[in-house]
Structure 1
């Protein structure tokens, strides 16, 4: 694991965006289509604001969320909404987007169809993750129903995440898909998340799901 510390969040956003652009450009040299998986939430927005202006062949990039809440894509809590508003704009507007949730459909009914869009571009070329203070990543939560199956090396591409603390089900890329990415970046802010990451490195993935994907990870941290 490579740990990079930044003096502030603005500098982190610029440097991470530049690193991602370089990773995507390198991947495009060797593949007709490449996959970029990114998180939602508040953390990646400033990174997207810089990355979307990168001079890349975005039409060859397939963008997807690492996980998604089963809410309409215009909902304020939708990862798709954030990604479309902050990343799939400017030069990146021509990138292809792969939604993990289709509004109005039972999530279980749509999984196989969505997996057929993701499978051809695996392994993921570039992955960006966040992490909660509970050491969850994507929608792999400690103690959730189905976590063991989603962590298994033979897990399918997608899994349904249901927890007692989340108001709706979520769809998530599984641990082997996340861990198999060729370039992996984790972005975290604040002392509490840095401490959580330190704890995770000494725990099994069932207790700290982020531990399942840390091999070869570049961690970007700022207070």
Structure 2
């Protein structure tokens, strides 16, 4: 049974303040315990107000490493790039931002390269922060021919390349994503979503657990730690 705690807010700004505060606590705790923090952040629109609040927080950013939890196989200066938004916000305040992709077009090879890059980081992450698409994907664990690779990769494997099927119309490109095992290795897992439709979708995925047809349900069904879900309309 997935142990999930829902946190509800009346506005985006209220959610952003609360989530930024929680992430700040995670950073401070990690640095106190290990003198460093490793965070995996999502892409998309929902995280942006939270990024802004975090950037305003007085945290020891020079000891923080941030990776994207998934990345699209596009140039890093593309507006579709997840690491672009992370770097734009957090590099100026001193954080270390590590891209997980390079100039590799083949998604399988890009996945191998991303995995090698992540093997060089001190694992596990202190936080994996997830979003969810309206199709039930999380990170870039999509339905399609590579779903099994992402869900059932060996525990030592941290990233794989995926080709969603169908391709999402807003970003019809191949991806690299953290594996289910890499996501669930995190000390803390946090989810942010907006809108009633996504809430109902996620509630159903959690209820269905291992039998869920949605990638996020399949990912969370294996979680051993409680999941914090932050939602606003």
Please indicate, yes or no, whether the TM-score normalized by the shorter chain is above 0.5.
yes
Partner of 2:138: 137
Partner of 1:186: 191
Partner of 2:164: 163
Q: Matches of 2:110 and 2:135 in 1, distance apart?
A: 29
Give the total of aligned pairs: 219
The 3 A distance-change label for structure 1 pair 18 and 205 is farther
1:106, CA displacement in angstroms?
4.3
Question: What's the TM-score, normalizing by structure 2?
Answer: 0.86
1:29 is the counterpart of 2:29: no
Q: Out of 203-212 and 171-180, give the one that drifted further.
A: 203-212
The 3 A distance-change label for structure 1 pair 114 and 148 is closer
1:13, CA displacement in angstroms?
0.4
Partner of 2:16: 13
**Residue 206 of structure 2 contacts residue 220 of structure 2 at CA under 8 Å; is this kept in 1?**
no
1:110, CA displacement in angstroms?
4.8
1:84, CA displacement in angstroms?
1.8
Unaligned runs of 5+ in 2: none
1:4 is the counterpart of 2:7: yes
Q: Matches of 2:149 and 2:114 in 1, distance apart?
A: 19
Cα displacement string for residues 136-183 of structure 1 (whole angstroms, at most 9, x for unaligned residues): 1000012x1121221126251111110233222100000111112111
**Residue 39 of structure 1 contacts residue 130 of structure 1 at CA under 8 Å; is this kept in 2?**
yes
Partner of 2:207: 202
Q: Matches of 2:158 and 2:100 in 1, distance apart?
A: 11
Question: What's the TM-score, normalizing by structure 1?
Answer: 0.90
RMSD: 1.9
